[in-house]
Each structure stands twice: as structure tokens, then as C-alpha cells.
Structure 1
Amino acid sequence: MAVHPLDAMQSAPDHHDVLYENEKVRILDTRLAADDRTPVHAHEWPAALYVLSWSDFIRRDDQGNILADSRGKPAPAAGEALWIEPLPPHYVENVGSSDLHIIAVEVKSS
């Protein structure tokens, strides 16, 4: 199965570790320290996210336009789960004071 040319593991490996992968799922351990920023990357599959620790962030597209800004929204607690659709090329800036740490279970298309 071909992966997106900006796949997170190719374009942002310092922020993502593969915990498990097969033809149906890929489980990523995603970490972003306070005041850090990822390189531009993409996630081509939808994912269930499990929050280990939260921090405010801004997600921007590859042109710098804001796609999401978590500031001013209720923060998910550690242990909370979320769903996210595939993400086009983007980068994430941790604008909070703690680490953003999430386990992502990406569901591959069959």
C-alpha cells in the first residue's frame, strides 16, 4: 500500500513513533514538547486518539493558514478519546506550557 508522500513517519519522524502496524491499522505514539513545532506532514487515514497529556496547539496548513486552534476550547483530560478525520499536509505548533502526548490508532482503508 502506497503511503502519502508527506506521511508522518517520513516527514516528521522525530514526533511520531510506530508502536504497531499491519494492513488494517497503524498505532502512533505522538509527542510534541512545549514550544516545539512539527515539520509539514500528513495523516492519510482517520484515527482514534487517546490523550496521555494535553497542551494548547495550533494546526496550520502547508501555507501557514490556521486549520485548528485549541486555545479557548475545553481541553480533553488524560485518558479521554477523540476521533479525527484524515489530515492534509499541515504542521502543529505547541503553544501551551506542557507536552502534547497522544496515541493515534489510524484506521487504514481496506
Structure 2
Amino acid sequence: MQITGSSKDWAWPDDLDALIAAPQYHKLLFENDFVRVLDTCIRPGETTPIHTHRYPASLYVLSWSDFLRFDDMGNVIFDSRTLTQTPESGSARWTESFAPHALQNIGVQDLHIISVEQKNL
């Protein structure tokens, strides 16, 4: 489930931000007034804590693995196995902001993504 809208209208507390709530999976590579670049890596079998992504982002896939995304109540809201085309390493995608969620890597490879969040959209 993707939540769209201005980050100025963000309804969730800052302590759910990915860098605060799930720092073992999200590393800050760069930040200024316009963008925030995150390196996200989730190993097979791992599940992140509940966290948010306040800003829409361009995603660069370093390695892909199937995953489940859960809402903050533990309900599955997305299963990557339902995608019609599996993203390949070296591909890019766009995503909107994400409300509180957790992600479980159910595949056999690392799910490794570089995310360039757009802070002023």
C-alpha cells in the first residue's frame, strides 16, 4: 500500500522514520534540503521493524528478492510474487511515500535498494 500526498501533511511520528525505527536496515548515504539517499538491505529471512518512508523516491535495485509488506497491524498488504515483471539488478523504479509497514524478505537473495527520496515534492 502506497500513500501519496505532500510530506508536509505527514500523519506519522518522526520516530517511525526508517533511519530511526529500522536503522539496521537503512543507512544514510547523503542528505541535503532536496534529497535523502538511503542504502537499504534486507537479508533473506529477515523482517524489518515497523517504519515509514515519508518521501517519494527513485529506487535503484542492486539485488532483488521476493518480499512481503505488512501494515502496522500485521496484515499482508503486498506480496512481490504478484508482480508481473520481477525487477532486475540495475533497474530503477518510482515509489510514493509509505505509511507504517514492515517488510519480510521471503526470497533467497538480499533485497538491496538505493533510494533517492525527493524531499520537496
Q: If the TM-score is normalised by the length of the shorter chain, which range does it land in?
A: over 0.9
Whether 1:75 aligns to 2:73 is: no
**In proportion to residue count, which structure has more helix?**
2
TM value normalised by structure 2: 0.85
Whether 1:85 aligns to 2:119 is: no
Unaligned runs of 5+ in 1: none
Secondary structure of the residue aligned to 2:109 is coil
Match of 1:94 among 75, 88, 105: 105
Q: Deviations over 1:61-87 (max 9, x none)?
A: 110112211014221010100000000
Aligned alpha-carbon RMSD (Å): 1.7
Once the two structures are aligned, what percentage of the paired residues are identical?
50
Which 4+ residue blocks in structure 1 deviate beyond 4 angstroms?
none
The CA distance in 1 between the partners of 2:117 and 2:53, in whole Å, is 8
Match of 1:40 among 32, 50, 55: 50
TM value normalised by structure 1: 0.94
Number of corresponding residues: 110
Match of 1:61 among 56, 71, 74: 71
The CA distance in 2 between the partners of 1:70 and 1:78, in whole Å, is 15
Q: Deviations over 1:7-43 (max 9, x none)?
A: 0000000000000001110000000000000000000
